[in-house]
Amino acid sequence: MSENTHTQQHPGYGLYILVWAGLVGLTTITVALAGFNLAGLTVVTALAIAIVKSLLVTNYFMHVRTDSPVFRVFIFVCIAIFIVVIVLTFFDLTYRFPLK
Amino acid sequence: MDYVSYLEYKGKHKGLLGWLLSTDHKRIAILYLVSLIVFFLVAMTIGFLMRLEMLSTGKTIVNPQTYNALFTLHGVIMIFLFIIPGIPVVFGNFFLPIMLGAKDVAFPRLNLLSWYFYIFGALLVILSLFVGGGPIDTGWTFYVPYSLRTQSNVTLAVFAAFVIGFSSILTGLNFIVTIHRMRCPGMSWFKMPLFVWGLYSTSWIQLLATPILGITLVLIMAERLFGIGIFDPALGGDPLLYQHLFWIYSHPAVYIMVLPAMGLVSEIIPTFSKKDIFGYGPIAMSSLAIAFIGYLVWGHHMFSTGISDTSRAIFSFLTFIVAIPSGVKVFNWVATMYKGSIETRAPFLFVVAFIIVFSIGGLTGLVLGSLNTDIHLTDTYFVVAHFHYVMFGGMGLLFFGGLHYWFPKMFGKMYNEGTAKFGLLLFVVGFNTLYFPMFIMGYLGMPRRYYDYLPEYKIYHIISTVGSWILIAGILILIINLVRALLKKERLTEKNPWGGTTLEWQVDTPPTLENFEEIPVVEHGPYYRDNLIKPGKSH
Amino acid sequence: MNNEATINHGHAHRDDLGSKMGMWLFLLTELLLFGGMFILYASYRYMYADNFKVAAMHLDTLIGSVNTILLLTSSLTVALSIAALQRKQTRFSVYLLLFTIVAGGAFLVNKYFEWSAKIGHGIYPKGPEMANLSDGEVIFYGLYYVMTGLHALHVIVGLVFIGFMVVFILKGKQTFDNFQRLENAGLYWHLVDIIWIFLFPLFYLIH
């Protein structure tokens, strides 16, 4: 059995362009927001928008949405390890350099 | 079709080129085997010289600068050129496809490339000994700020480690895809041999941890070459962040070392107990658990460095947790042996030695994992003893054990078993004589990486050095025994000399180029026997 | 991950899924390579929050935004080129890839001007102006040069990849029903884009 190539339904041109428009829109928003003083929320909002953009690129441009679920598992494992490592590192930093 | 073994196969290239350019996973495994043994012997000789130096206080045979270079090189070569590549690149490369019922790995050319990365990195390590500021003297851990300031050849040596890292990543990548995509019909995930589960877990660590070391090494080079200043305290950098990043790789790295070895144990025990494995599921899952939890414990290398108390408590707790899946394995191995029909052949004895030695190493790891005891024992010989017990007594011993298990299949020759058992005996006696006194002198306060010491430690150093001679004698006997077997004229053609049940014991001895004439179809689990010995029934 | 999905039937067989898997696994290593740098960025930003903001003000938000749009658009064209090849619109597919290369090239040109400006002002490792900056600013620029530099290297690699794909398509080695290599090159390019999606706000937009 060949599951090569043509059994996957890749998006048409229109969907790609729509995603691109969303990406450009989100970029505009994130640049505009930089002008405001959001204090503690600055990093969180910037990261949140970046994450949404990445999800768009990953799911639609990189076809993760329509591909075999194994790729989602791979990505999830990678990100889980990254997050766990950064959290553990911050357990050290937040106590060595307490925020005043 | 006439039988031609992979050793004699004549392909596109002739002679030596036929080996250097071969994409046959078996030939690549042999290329790695020869390289690994060469570097092991080099690093072993360095260890021999180190122990000679430590026979007496003050200078014995080398000056302090040379000693620093010696222990650095011993570590770098053993860790990056022997233990980490170790079992995966020799036995994984040779047997993974065969155990899965496949003809090769997923990306055979990448496989060959991984060996060339390894050799190129190794050559750079050798080059770093002679060029520029002289051999590196920072310890294999390259800690900043010393590694940023020392005149020795850090940049080249660190670049060598970076290159070798690519070899590791490519191997891991290749194995993961091979295991996902190339299992033969009938071989579901839970019908794979446990060695494969060990390789699979290891491959994920190789894939996801090595890049972090990669970037850390790049930053060392960037700081030395361009003065970037990310770790340099003089420029506002935090040296502890270097240690964090370094150990975020290097702790999982020890699981790269031990998981394949544990997988090997799960192969050898059923074969010589003539019994199905006990607890296949838990053993398989424990490999994945160790791989994952192994990412969470790196701070236990940094307990005395000034990191926060909260993080130290968390890392200590997690360190205790990671011991649990290893315990699961040991219990299942013992349960497999229970009421089995034990054959004390040489490979089995290697495994028995491993279980004892590794348990000592593992338990002392718990001593080091407790905060209060670690403060006294960190950076002493206790740590040196601990990691040699687990790394050398663990992976090192099983590397030779695996060699004795699979040697007949790989080369179609049989070694003298009596000599092998004697070599193993010398190995075990020498090993314990060499390393056990280190626990004691570490407890009494002897620091590691020290060239000189107070007279009260002298007796332990002397015993230890004598142990190193016995150990080396054992290793040489083992190696020479195998080499003599290789040179014997008498061929072994028996497909299954040990009575194993996994697929490699059903192919020719040695295997042909494509392993199988027909891809097998698998029905049972990997350790299933027709004459299964059930608990309660006598044989 | 069931058994029927494997391709081990003994005969030589093109395994597109396996090929894609190999590329994805490689991408994960790249993610963690940059991940290590992001850990450092997060740590130092936490330690030197105010000085990071001071340093970031000297980066040109306009160039950064233009570069972001360039990469996003080049990601679009790469994705479109695969769709075009699948629809046998080979010419269109090649033009889309050429646009990608041009956009990537423009990104690099912008980067060159950005770096030149900084270097001209003495703001580079061991540069004359660095001694006047606070520790936090020095670290900021250290991270800036390493991360954008590493990223630029990956852009170059990605462009070479895509260049090869143009050649393959023109030579008929990638076709409407054999395009996994093109897709792999696309995946690599999208990763380069995603890394920039994070670099941009973290370096240019902290005010």
Residues B128-150 pLDDT 10s: 998 888 899 999 999 999 999 99
C82-98: pLDDT as tens digits = 999 999 999 999 999 99
Which residue is closest to C48 within chain A, CA to CA? A97
Instruction: Give residue B398's Cα distance to chain centre.
Output: 8
Q: How many CB atoms lie within 10 A of CB B35?
A: 19
Please answer yes or no on whether C39 and A13 come within 8 Å at the CB atom: no
What is the residue-averaged pLDDT of chain C?
91
- The H or E element containing residue B330 is helix B309-337
Residues 6+ apart with CB under 8 A from B348: B268, B269, B272, B342
For A15-27, write each residue's pLDDT tens digit.
999 999 999 999 9
CB contact under 8 Å between C28 and A35, yes or no, is: no
The half-sphere exposure of B323 on its side-chain side, counting CA atoms within 13 A, is: 19
- Read off the pLDDT band of C4 (50, 70, 90): very low
Mean pLDDT of B153-179: 96
Please name the member of C9, C29, C125 whose beta carbon is closest to the beta carbon of B169: C29
A97 confidence band (pLDDT: 50, 70, 90): confident
Contacts 24+ apart (CB under 8 A), C115-119: C115/C145, C117/C60, C118/C58
Over 50: is that where the pLDDT of A7 sits?
A: no
Amino acid in position B63: N
Among candidate residues B311, B249, B237, the one with its CA nearest the CA of residue A90: B311
A28, closest residue in chain C (CA to CA): C65
Average pLDDT over residues B193-217: 97
Shortest Cα–Cα distance, A58 to chain C (Å): 8
CB < 8 Å & 24+ apart, contacts of A79-85 = A81/B208, A81/B292, A81/B295, A81/C32, A82/C31, A82/C32, A82/C35, A84/B295, A84/B296, A85/B248, A85/B295, A85/C39
Position C14 scores a pLDDT of 86
* pTM of the predicted model as reported, rounded to 2 decimal places: 0.94
Higher pLDDT, C206 or B348: B348
Angle (CA) C8-B90-B213 rounded to 5° is 100
Q: What is the pLDDT of residues B79-123, one digit of tens each?
A: 999 999 999 999 999 999 999 999 999 999 999 999 999 999 999
Residue C34 CA: distances (Å) to CA of B213, B414, C68:
11, 49, 18
Q: Chain C contact for A26, CB < 8 A?
A: no
- How far away is chain B from the Cα of C168, in angstroms, using its nearest Cα? 20
For residue range A49-64, list pLDDT tens digits in order: 999 999 999 999 999 9
Interface residues from chain C to B (CB-CB < 8 Å): 1-3, 5-10, 15, 17-18, 21-22, 25-26, 28-30, 32-37, 39-40, 43-44, 47-48, 125-126, 134-136, 138-139, 142-143, 145-146, 150
Identify the weakest region by mean pLDDT among B205-209, B409-413, B477-481, C134-138: C134-138
B534: pLDDT strictly greater than 80: no
Q: Is the pLDDT of residue C2 over 50?
A: no
What mean pLDDT do residues A29-51 have? 87
Query: pLDDT grade, residue A37 (50/70/90)?
Result: confident
Using a CB-CB distance cutoff of 8 angstroms, which residues of chain C are in contact with residue B102?
8
Tell me if C201 and A82 make a contact (CB, 8 A cut-off).
no
Neighbours of chain C (3+ CB pairs under 8 A): A, B
Q: Residue B85: is the preceding peptide bond cis (ω within 30°)?
A: no
Residue B496 · residue B487 · CB < 8 Å: no
How large is the ipTM? Answer: 0.93
Q: What average pLDDT does this structure show over C7-19?
A: 74
A75-89, B420-434, C45-59, C177-191: least confident range: C45-59
Whether A88 has its CB under 8 Å from any CB of chain B: the answer is yes
Closest CA to C85 of C175, C161, C187: C175
Question: Which residues in chain B have their CB less than 8 angstroms from residue A93's CB?
Answer: 308
- A6 pLDDT more than 70: no
pLDDT of residue B419: 97
SS3 B138: coil
Is the confidence at residue B378, as pLDDT, over 80? yes
Integer Cα distance of A37 and B268 in angstroms: 64
Per CB-CB distance under 8 Å, the chain A contacts of B314 are 88, 91
Q: What is the pLDDT of residue B135?
A: 92
Left if phi > 0, otherwise alpha if psi is -120 to 50, otherwise beta: which for A90?
A: alpha
Instruction: Inspect the interface and report whether the beta carbons of A58 and C187 lie closer than 8 Å.
Output: no
B393 DSSP 8-state letter: I
pLDDT confidence bin for B538, thresholds 50/70/90: very low
| Inter-chain CB proximity B308 and A94 less than 8 Å | yes
Whether B427 and B474 have beta carbons less than 8 Å apart is answered as yes
Is the pLDDT assigned to residue C190 strictly greater than 90? yes
Query: What would the mean pLDDT of B475-494 be, rounded to a whole number?
Result: 95
**Predicted pLDDT at C7:** 58
Which tokens belong to B434?
Answer: 């060499």
The Cα B528–Cα B386 span in angstroms is: 37
For range B18-43, the mean pLDDT: 96
Mean pLDDT of B33-51: 97
Instruction: Tell me the pLDDT tens digit for each residue of B270-322.
Output: 999 999 999 999 999 999 999 999 999 999 999 999 999 999 999 999 999 99
What pairs with residue C178 in β-bridges? C175
What is the mean pLDDT of the segment spanning A42-49? 90
